[in-house]
Amino acid sequence: MSMSSANVSLLANFNQSASTANITSASNGNMSTEDVKYEEFYNMAQFITGLFLYPTVCLFGLTGNVISIVVLSQKKMATSTNTFLTALAVSDGIKLVTDSFYFLVILLLNIDEAVGQRAYGYLYPYAHYFFNMSVCITAWLTVSVAAERYILVCYATKARQWCSIRRARITSIGVFVSMSLLTIPLGLRYETVVLRDDHLNVTVLSVEVTELWKNARFVTAYTWIQNLLRSIVPLFVLCTLNCFIVQALRRTQRGRKKISTRHRVTLMLVSVIVVFMLCVTPDAVMSAFFGYGYYEASFLVRGIREITDLLLTVNSAVNFLLYYTFNKVFRRNFYALFCKNCRRGQLAKQELYGGRSSLATARNTTAANQSKGCSSSKKEDSPQLIFLDARRQTTTPLIENEFVRAEDHPNECGNGQTCL
C-alpha cells in the first residue's frame, strides 16, 4: 500500500487545521520554512508507524496481554506480585486499544478521506485522554512492582507483613483511580469542531485546543505537574530501586552457579523495569521540552513524537515475552492452559499437579499407617507432612510460611497455589 499524493495533501492540510494558528496558516497558504522542510519527514513517519508498525505491535501486544491476564489470574497463581502484573497487563491493554484506533484513523484517511476525517475529529479528544491515562497508570504500577521487589530482596523479614495480595489489590485500584483523575484535564484539552477547508473546498471535522488550555498559567503549572508524576518521578524512583535490587542480587548470587527461582523472578521484574525506562525516557524528554501537544506542534516535533509514542506502545506489548522468557512457572502454566494436547502441555501439567497428587498420597498413607498403629507415638503427636517431588523423587519438608513458599517453592504456595 502506498499513500497517494492527494492523501498526503489531505493529511497535511488536515493536521495543519488542528490549532487556530495552523488553520490560519493553511488557509493563507503561508507555511514557515521549517515546517516545509520537515513536513515530508512527519508524513513519512506517520505513514510507516500508523499503517505498519502500530497494527503489528498492537496485535501482538493485545494477544500477549490477554494471555498474561488469563495465566496470572489463575487461583493457583495468586500472589501480590502477580496481582500487580495483572493490573499492569490491563493498563497496557487500554494503551494498545487506543493505539489501534490511531491505526484505523490513518487507514481510513487512505481509503476514504471524509470518513477518516470524521473518525479523527470524533475520536482524538477521547483517545488523547486514554493514551495519557494508561501511560501514567503503567508508570506507577511499574513503580509498585519495583518497590515490592525491593522489599522482598532487601527487607525479607518484613516482606510477609508488607507484601500481601490484599495490599497489592488496594494499591493497584488506588493507582487506577488517582491517575484517571489526574489526567482529566488532558481529556479536556481538545474539542471537536467543524471547519471549512478552502484548499480542498470541503467541510471537515477536526479538533481545536479548548479555552482551558489557552490559559498560559494553567498550561505551565499542569504540564510540569504531569511531567513530574507521569515520567520524571517514576523514572528517578525506578532507577534508584533498580540499582539497589541489582546490587542485592549480585551479593546473594556470588559464588553460585545456578540461578534460584526467586532470583529468576527478580531478574524478570528487573527486565520489565529496564524496558520501561528505555521506552519511556525519550517521551519524557519530549514532554519536558515541548509539552503534551501534538497537532499544534511543528512538523519536526510531530515526526519525533510518532517515534517516541511507538516506543510507549512497544513497552506495553513486550511484557508477555519477558514473563515467558524468564519465568518457568509462568511458562508451565501457559503450556498447561493453552497447549493441553501437546507434549509440552502434558509435561507442564505433570510438573504443576504431580506434586499435589503425591502430597495427597503421602497424607493418605500417613493416616492409614497411624490408624493401623504403625507410627510411633512421637509421630502421632506431631506428624510431619512430607512433600514428594514427583520429578526428582526426593523428599522436602513442607514449609508452613506461605510467603516463603511463594519464593522458594514455586510449585506449591499456600493451599496448593502456584506462585511466581
Task: Give the global pTM.
Answer: 0.76
3-state helix vs strand vs coil in the chain, percent to 5:
75, 5, 20
CA nearest neighbour of 42 among 298, 291, 314: 298
Grid coordinates in use for 317?
506489548
Report CA torsion sign: 212, 216, 217, 222: positive
**Bridge partners of residue 195, in order along the sequence:** 204
Question: Which residue stretches of 155-260 are H helix?
Answer: 156-162, 165-182, 184-187, 216-227, 233-253
- In DSSP notation, 302-359 reads HHHHHHHHHHHHHHHHSHHHHHHHH-HHHHHHHHHHH-TTSHHHHHHHHHHHHHHHHH
**Do residues 141 and 91 lie in contact, with contact meaning Cβ atoms separated by under 8 Å?**
yes
**Do residues 92 and 84 lie in contact, with contact meaning Cβ atoms separated by under 8 Å?**
no
**Do residues 70 and 81 lie in contact, with contact meaning Cβ atoms separated by under 8 Å?**
no
**Do residues 80 and 39 lie in contact, with contact meaning Cβ atoms separated by under 8 Å?**
no
Q: What is the pLDDT of residue 265?
A: 86
- Which residues have a Cβ under 8 Å from the Cβ of 311 and sit 6 or more positions away? 278, 279, 280, 282, 283
Q: What is the pLDDT of residue 212?
A: 94
Alpha-carbon span 241 to 151, nearest angstrom: 10
Q: What is the pLDDT of residue 294?
A: 65
Q: What is the pLDDT of residue 62?
A: 97
Cell 502421632 belongs to 380
CATH code linked to domain 5-326:
1.20.1070.10
Q: What is the pLDDT of residue 94?
A: 97
| Residue-by-residue pLDDT tens, the chain, 420 positions | 333 333 333 333 334 333 333 333 333 344 566 667 788 899 999 999 999 999 999 999 999 999 999 999 998 899 999 999 999 999 999 999 999 999 999 999 889 888 888 898 999 999 999 999 999 999 999 999 999 999 998 888 888 888 999 999 999 999 999 999 999 999 999 999 988 767 767 777 888 999 999 999 999 999 899 999 999 999 999 999 999 999 988 887 776 666 666 788 888 999 999 999 999 999 988 887 776 556 667 888 889 999 999 999 999 999 999 999 998 889 989 988 988 777 766 676 666 665 554 444 445 555 555 555 544 444 444 433 333 343 343 333 332 233 333 344 333 333 343 334
Report CA torsion sign: 132, 8, 54, 307: negative
Alpha-carbon span 279 to 281, nearest angstrom: 6
DSSP label at residue 207: E
Furthest CA-CA distance within the chain: 101
Domain ranges of the chain: 5-326, 339-408
